[in-house]
Amino acid sequence: MRIAGVDPGTIETGVGILEDLGKGPVLIFARTIHAGRTKEIALRLEIIFNELRVVFQEWKPDVLALENVFYQKDFKAAVKVGEARAAAMLAATASGIPVMEYPPARVKQSICGNGRATKEQVQYMVRQVLRFKGPLSDDSADAVAVALCHFHSQKFIRLKEELTHV
């Protein structure tokens, strides 16, 4: 199973793809899409959509894991994140990929054991869990964290199903 994770932002969007070969997840792709700070928002969203479509076509993930909307003090920032999330959802849907959403606290809890973990803690734990030593931006580490959350959630569901059929 291949799991894509996306950390949406209208300036930078992180994307990471994990593959589960039965021995646990392996990071096979990570990147930050730079939509630009000075371009108008519609153009930035188009860049995010198009770049994600290319990634999805090349890597063919089975699912997209995405953090759902969360409360932010800055209303404008929350709207922009929502717009970037929509671009990611549309890119996945246009590629025939189902979308699964997770609350940010659940993502942090599944990676760090603490739903209020910092970005630095998340990046550290992503590297530890995957034994990854290569370059990984904050945005792509957050994207990989969402993909890992989905991996752990699915593993738990499968285990639960196995136990109920015993």
Active site residues: 7, 67, 139
Partners of 19 in the beta sheet? 2, 26
* CA 101 vs CA 34, 40, 54, 107, 137: distances in Å: 23, 27, 21, 10, 22
From CA 62, how far away is CA 96, in angstroms rounded? Answer: 9
Direct distance between the N- and C-terminal alpha carbons of the chain, in angstroms, rounded to an integer: 25
**Is residue 100 within a helix (H) or strand (E), and if so which, with residue range?**
strand 99-102
